[in-house]
Amino acid sequence: MKFRPLHDRVVVQRVAEDTKTAGGIIIPDTATEKPSEGKVVAVGPGTRGDDGKFTALDVKKGDRVLFGKWGGTEVKIDGKDLLIMKESDIMGVIG
């Protein structure tokens, strides 16, 4: 990928959810909500403090994260649907 996020921005790729319920019912694409779980693809260098030094982000490339339902801005880079969001929009790291 030829995209580098700035400051405290994080690039996340959504993880596909199951399209079948526990009871075996198949859910059509039009009825499913977009997942709020994803994999971090790229991270910015961090935020710059008052002293001019960078504070590194808590998430790193490859982390599996949970984020808010409406978090991030949807973009298409290299044919992939991705989200760009601030680290503060991420609720936590899974695992």
C-alpha distances (whole Å) from 3 to each of 19, 54, 78, 90 are: 31, 20, 9, 20
Instruction: Read off the pLDDT of each residue in 40-60 and give the average, rounded to a whole number.
Output: 89
pLDDT-derived band at 59, boundaries 50, 70, 90: very high
Q: What is the pLDDT of residues 14-44, one digit of tens each?
A: 887 655 556 666 666 554 556 588 999 999 9
Read off the pTM: 0.75
pLDDT-derived band at 1, boundaries 50, 70, 90: low
